Structure 1
Amino acid sequence: MTAHKIFDGAFVMYSDMHLKECTSYFQSSTDSSLLYIDHCREGRIESEIGNNAYSYLQEHEMRVDDRRSHSGRFCFPLCHYHGMTLGFDLDIAVPALKDFFGGFSVDLYELQKKYCNDKKPFVIHNEPGIEHIFSELYFVPQQIKGDYYKVKAMELLLYLDALQFSDSKEDRPYFYKGQVEKIKAIHDLITANLQEHYTMDELAERFQISLTGMKTCFKEIFGDSMYSYLRRYRMNVAATMLRQDSQKGIAEIAGAVGYESPSKFATAFRQVIGQTPMEYRKSFF
């Protein structure tokens, strides 16, 4: 996590996480004067929102909150998360912003009321204007960072002030602890032995969860349908084996990741990795 000061009371922070989970000890008062804007560029993050319910911030989503519920355990279902946060301590940032740009029309306290009057985080998915603003913040030349952060922060605040979010806000599903634990147990089961094959009905019955609920919750936690996720997982394991063990044949590796047919394995591998298994191996040896 790398933070840069924008002006007094305001910062931008880049987060590059490669871990399964972490714990936050952040504490904010019930009358928080904070305004935080999070953007996920890649991966996803799981956070508890109270009453044993969990929400997920995923790729190309922006979340606005006041950090009143930002302590506890955070999980990264894909074991990585890349994004950024713009943070404002309003009691300090508002006067500093007036000193920097006296004619700035956005009232940050009103902006906080607009987006943070619900106990749930405010999430916006795939809003083109917001994506454009954040995309430029990921690649800032060193020599202009100071002024550029100020300009982009004001641009984002202006955009949020003007945004009519009835068409932009996405009512994301929230899942309770029991559901999340079952889905993670299903994930552990289907990835533990890739030679084993389970039907959706078998998994739903085994873990006593509805078929629809299982599919919906799995996609929310891991970012893809169970079938697509498991196929990609198998191909990534196969790619590691192709790189690390030149003595193993293609058919043997195919069998190790659950494919009896080398031709079907080669087709799936190309669809996921972009090369045939042989082409991929030759690029390393």
Structure 2
Amino acid sequence: MKKLFTETEELIKTHVLNESDTQTIIHGEECSIYKMENNTGEGIIIRYSVFPGIEILYNDIHMTNGVRHNATPRADIIEINHCRIGRFECEFSNGETAYLGEGDLAVNVMTNVARESWFPLSHYHGITIAVDISLATQVLKQVSNALGRGLSFDLFSMKESLCQGNSCFIMRATDSIQHIFSELYKTPEDLKSGYFKIKVMELFLFLNSPEITAKREERQYFNKIQIESIKAIRQYLIQNLHRHVTLKELSHTFNYPLTSMKLCFKEVYGSSINTYMQAYRVQFAAQLLRESNDGITNISYQVGYQNASKFSEVFKQFIGQTPTEYRKSFCLKGGRSVL
């Protein structure tokens, strides 16, 4: 059994993590901790063994650029990802790009090899369940026999059903997904070993349901050039935070059709351009309130508000306090962020 766990971890490190960019901080049979780091930030991944052939990885990422992947295609390995907070972008070797937002679920077979991954919002928290189907099937068959009739885990059929045509299955946030994953984010340490087994089996039963395939997301495809243009637009906007750039101006400046620009921006960043920039302005203003002595009127100008009263109104909608209250509460907390 120990040998099977070791084999599983090596497969996961090779095909799910990128060994060249991942440093092992702690290595254990049941739990390991890895660190990724580059010039845009760092990420911590905690791996737990569930069954031979099944691993759960907790991803706590604070970076923009992720990693380049170079794993050999494997038809017997699938990866199930759930996004709790933030946003995840993955480009596959066939040129397609998949995005996960908060609450979304994705299932991908490792013949659909990822080329590169990014984190558009510079943070991502989620769970990866990596499955070596051949190893896991042997163990789950024993579990099924022990628990009795009516319990079946056909991982091969699940893969064929969800990843038709070597594609990545994406299902947007639902109450069912939330129910399965929410408790995995707050499992007490002493209960994890047994609880992981129960939740993984629940997830496999859920994904084996014929109704799930029908919920496959039909999405518009954007090529890499379009996506890179959207990222350039976002960078242009934050570099010109002091002024309000109209959508028509953006469309003209970047030679990007207005409708396509709006659709692609929402695909990459998960919200409309105006909504995204409003939130960005407030968060940047909160940082200035914490880290500078600039007056509130001056800060409102820096983030694009000519009217300090309007700025205070929008700030309170997002933060729950006026800028003055926020700065005062931050000082009272001894300089610790309340965001």
> Deviation per CA, 1:79-98, whole angstroms, max 9, x where unpaired?
01111011211111111222
2:187 corresponds to: 140
Aligned partners of 1:250, 1:128: CA distance in 2, in Å?
41
> Which structure's relative contact order is higher, taking Cα pairs within 8 Å and 6+ residues apart?
1
- Percent identity for Structure 1 against Structure 2: 39
Question: Cα deviations across residues 162-181 of structure 1 (Å, max 9, x unaligned)?
Answer: 24135522213331011011
Output aligned runs, 1:35-74, within 5 Å. 35-74=78-117
CA 196–204 in structure 1, closer or farther in 2 if over 3 Å, else same? same
Query: 1:7 corresponds to which residue?
Result: 51
CA distance in 2, matches of 1:81, 1:195: 27
Instruction: Give unpaired runs (5+ residues) of structure 2.
Output: 1-44, 332-339
Q: Residue 226 of structure 2 aligns to which amino acid in structure 1?
A: Q
Q: What secondary structure, in the 3-state scheme, does the structure 1 residue paired with 2:208 have?
A: helix
**Shift of the alpha carbon at 1:51?**
4.1
Partner residue, 1:256: 302
Q: How does 1:238-249 map to 2 (within 5 A)?
A: 238-245=285-292, 247-249=293-295
The reply to whether residue 122 of structure 1 matches residue 169 of structure 2 is: yes
Aligned to 1:234, what secondary structure does the other structure show? helix
> Residue type matched to 1:22 in 2?
G
Partner of 1:108: 155
- Contact 1:38 1:84 survives alignment (8 Å): yes
Q: Deviations over 1:252-273 (max 9, x none)?
A: 1111111111111111111121
Q: TM-score, normalised by structure 1?
A: 0.94
> In structure 2, what is the equivalent of residue 175 of structure 1?
222
Match of 2:277 in 1: 230
- What is the aligned counterpart of 2:64 among 5, 17, 20? 20
Q: Which residue number corresponds to residue 203 of structure 1?
A: 250
- Aligned-partner Cα distance in 2 for 1:65–1:250: 48
How many pairs were matched up? 283
Could you report, residue by residue, the CA deviation over 1:29-57 in whole angstroms, capped at 9, with x for unpaired residues? Answer: 35x11122111111111111344332211
Q: Where does structure 1 lack aligned partners over 5 or more consecutive residues?
A: none
Once the 2 structures are TM-superposed, how far is the Cα of residue 99 of structure 1 from its aligned partner?
2.6
Deviates more, 1:142-151 or 1:69-78: 69-78
> Residue 219 of structure 1 is aligned with which of 266, 273, 295?
266
Q: TM-score, normalised by structure 2?
A: 0.80
AA at the equivalent of 2:261:
M
Amino acid at match of 2:282: M
